[in-house]
Amino acid sequence: MNKGRLEAFSDGVLAIILTIMVLEIKVPQGSDFEAIKPLFPVLSSYVLSFIYIGIYWNNHHHLMHTVKYVSGNILWANLHLLFWLSLVPLVTNWMGKNPFAPLPMALYGFMLLMASIAFWILQQQILKKHGKNSLLAQALGNNFKGKLSPILYLIAIISTCYSEWISITLYTLVAFIWLIPDKRIEIIFDEKLKEVD
């Protein structure tokens, strides 16, 4: 099987998810400041989801870099990840239209939680195919971010019963954690490339 087509397909799905989120934002009725006021929470949740899809694209990019063989399991683990991410536009818009409502906010966290679990499953499938001593296994190391994120999502989901601000803060915090460059994979590859040179 061909890794290039898996990457291209995933890129296609992620590019579409990123772009159609805007389609869910309805054009305001009217042309004054009053008309665009309800757009602010919608746009804020759009920005957050845009960053999350960007992070997933980035991580997916890094993960696939290490892949040599694509098995049926890897293919379906990848589709499973895309499934949860495909729900992002729906949940994002629901949260944006009902700012600070607990249920949409909890479901947003649930979707993020399931996507992070799906990403972990995809990693495991790739590790299983490529061996514990593979480049990926070294690059992942202790995978601190990957382990921390689902825990923070879980706390954020439970927090929606008490205060929406805790959830919002946690969703934003996890995004920030991932935005901080994780040099591990890049460094190991750079070393490999140097060895090749």
Q: What is the DSSP letter of 68?
A: -
Verify binding: residue 117, its own copies, rule CB under 8 A: no
What HEC string does 113-168 produce?
A: HHHHHHHHHHHHHHHHHHCCCCHHHHHHCCCHHHHHHHHHHHHHHHHCCCCHHHHH
Single residue of 48, 74, 81, 82 touching its own copies by CB under 8 A: 82
CB 90 within 8 Å of CB 113:
no
28 lies in the site for its own copies, by CB under 8 A: yes
Based on the shown chain and the rule CB under 8 A, indicate whether residue 124 belongs to the binding site for its own copies.
no
User: What is the DSSP annotation of 28-61?
Assistant: PSSSSHHHHTTHHHHHHHHHHHHHHHHHHHHHHH
User: Residues 45, 51, 57, 60: what is their CA dihedral angle, to the nearest 10 degrees?
Assistant: -100
Site string for its own copies, 132-171 (x = CB under 8 A): ----------------------------------------
Contact range with its own copies by CB under 8 A, out of 50-58, 122-130, 141-149, 167-175? 50-58
Q: What residues make contact with its own copies under the rule CB under 8 A?
A: 1-2, 5, 7-9, 11-25, 27-28, 30-33, 36, 47, 50, 54, 57-58, 61, 65, 72, 75-76, 79, 82-83, 86-87, 89-90, 93-94, 97-98, 101-104, 107, 179, 181, 186
